[in-house]
Amino acid sequence: MIIDKATLPSMAELEDFKSVFELFCIDILGEARLFPLLSPLRVKEAHGAWQNDLHRVGGNEPNLGRGLDHFKQCGHLAFWVRRMSPVIDAADLTYDREPQTPPLTKDEVALRNLLFGYHNEFIAFEFGYQFCLFYEINKPGGSERAERLSLSGDYYRTVCQFLKYKNVSPHALFLIFKNLFYA
């Protein structure tokens, strides 16, 4: 999935949100040779809750001349995707594979192991993170930190565990995203 400057704003519309989210899930799970099964109702609920939050929060912050920044939008986005858990299952694309299909790589196995325990948490965090990364790399002057940033497997496991078992607010996710890009 390719993110550009129009992607996040376009997701205010439900149909755009659904198509972007579905493509994102297919790409992410595809990296582990899995295919997502999404609940259309949960995707719709995640979108509606996210949009309601953005309107509510935006109305409470009248000093924002240009609206909510990408960190705040993505904090709320990741919160509601995780909360609604729209990925309800994943099909194994290696099942009944052809004999010439190569075995899973070490990276594919590692990602599968993470996804089997935390698929919605991983998707939620990564969805918000990829938008933040795009905006930070493409802001005027760019961000050298964003260009060099590479999150470790341990970081992903920690954040997924945190999202699954702790009460993490949209505001906390905003701070996590913002902190990743500022020294």
Residue with the larger pLDDT of the pair 95 and 59? 95
Q: CB 10: neighbour CB atoms within 10 A?
A: 14
Write down the pTM of the prediction. 0.93
Alpha-carbon distances, residue 43 vs 51, 52, 73, 74, 82 (angstroms)? 12, 14, 17, 16, 11
Residue with the larger pLDDT of the pair 37 and 97? 37
pLDDT digits (tens, 9 = 90+) for 107-122: 999 999 999 999 999 9
pLDDT digits (tens, 9 = 90+) for 114-161: 999 999 999 999 999 999 999 999 999 988 999 999 999 999 999 999
Closest CA to 31 of 128, 115, 153: 115
What phi-psi label fits residue 139: left (phi over 0), alpha (psi between -120 and 50 degrees) or beta?
beta
Residues 6 or more apart whose CB falls under 8 angstroms from that of 85 comprise 42, 120
* pLDDT, position 30: 97
Q: Are 84 and 49 in contact (CB under 8 A)?
A: yes
3-class SS string, 73-109: HHHHHHHHHHHHCCEEEEEECCCCCCCCCCCCCHHHH
* DSSP per-residue codes, 93-158: TTTT--TTSPPPPHHHHHHHHHHHHHHHHHHHHHHHHHHHHHHHHTSTT--HHHHH----HHHHHH
pLDDT digits (tens, 9 = 90+) for 16-39: 999 999 999 999 999 999 999 999
* pLDDT, position 95: 76
pLDDT digits (tens, 9 = 90+) for 39-91: 999 999 999 999 999 999 876 665 555 678 999 999 999 999 999 999 999 99
